[in-house]
Amino acid sequence: MARYVYDFKGTGSRHSNAVFSSYRFAKVWIRKNKLTGLLTRHVLNIPGFDFQLAEGSLPKSLMRKANKPETRETYVDGRWHKHFFLGLGENDPGFNEAEDSWHRERGYL
């Protein structure tokens, strides 16, 4: 059975800000601190490429190149991630409105 960690990278960060053993712990911390960024789930002890290859969920475009080292070196397993904005998760009520308001205030919309 696969075990996972949840890696939070705040907007503007070059590296992870925090790594959690559960989604619940990560979500509580993100909400408490009203953070904006991306939470990504990573499988432990198995490279994401190998994990998806074994379970048959690797995109077909990569299947043809699976044995090439450059494919494995550049592959990022991005199947599971959640966006947060000021502590709100992407499925939370008010997420879209808060994000739109922030972008409008800065002239991005």
Q: Beta strands 81-85 and 18-20: pairing type?
A: unpaired
Whole-model pTM: value is 0.71
Spatial contact of 33 and 86, defined as CB atoms under 8 Å apart? no
Residues in CB range of 35: below 8 A, 6 or more apart: 8, 10, 17, 29, 84, 86, 87
Provide the domain count of the chain.
1
List the structure tokens of 76.
Answer: 């990022």
pLDDT on residue 3: 87
Taking only the tens place, the pLDDT of each residue in 49-83 is: 777 777 777 777 777 777 776 666 555 555 677 88
* Mean pLDDT value of segment 9-36: 94
Domain coverage including residue 84: 4-105
